[in-house]
């Protein structure tokens, strides 16, 4: 087997680092549940039409979804910010896994995305801390789990920056 290209290594490293944040943050719930904003979720934060109320998912299915979903998040962020250092890519990939790609890719509505696009890694990493809220009954509320997760992402993001 050939050695992976530098880009594929960077993507693999980012997925592994992001997964290290996501797994404890998401926990494991093998029976579908509604997350705080009311979205049907299963396993380690997997959402989508394949999540059905009352269904129990195997650990193998949960692991497969985690791997697939995180790789997808890494690819989305990498497309928006192809020059991001691995730790920045990893941190924003976990955030995108949790929140969707808006945080890293929507330069009209996300200061973090604008800073990423400009190559201001330090400024973008600091912006992660602002994304700790969810809509609860129409009101944006800081959730302790999100606050802790964004802090972990920000710490990883800032690590090894020049």
Question: What angle (nearest 5°) sits at the alpha carbon of residue 46, between those of residues 57 and 35?
Answer: 100
> Could you give the residue numbers annotated as active site?
26, 35
The Cα 111–Cα 1 span in angstroms is 41
The Cα 89–Cα 144 span in angstroms is 24
The Cα 22–Cα 152 span in angstroms is 10
Query: CB–CB of 82/119 below 8 Å?
Result: no
The Cα 8–Cα 12 span in angstroms is 6
The Cα 55–Cα 149 span in angstroms is 27
């Amino acid at each position: 087997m050939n050695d992976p290209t530098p880009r594929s290594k960077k993507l693999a490293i980012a997925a592994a680092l992001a997964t290290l944040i996501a797994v404890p943050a998401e926990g494991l719930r093998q029976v579908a549940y509604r997350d705080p904003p009311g979205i049907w979720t299963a396993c380690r934060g997997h959402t989508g039409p394949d999540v059905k109320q009352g269904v129990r998912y195997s650990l193998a299915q949960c692991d497969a979804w985690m791997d697939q979903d995180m790789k997808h998040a890494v690819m989305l962020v990498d497309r928006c910010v192809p020059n991001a250092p691995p730790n920045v890519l990893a941190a924003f990939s976990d955030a995108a896994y949790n929140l969707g790609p808006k945080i890293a890719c929507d330069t009209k509505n996300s200061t973090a995305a604008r800073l990423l696009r400009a190559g201001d890694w330090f400024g973008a990493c600091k912006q992660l801390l602002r994304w700790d809220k969810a809509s609860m009954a129409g009101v944006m509320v800081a959730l302790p789990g999100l606050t802790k997760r964004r802090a972990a992402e920000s710490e990883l993001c800032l690590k090894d920056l020049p």
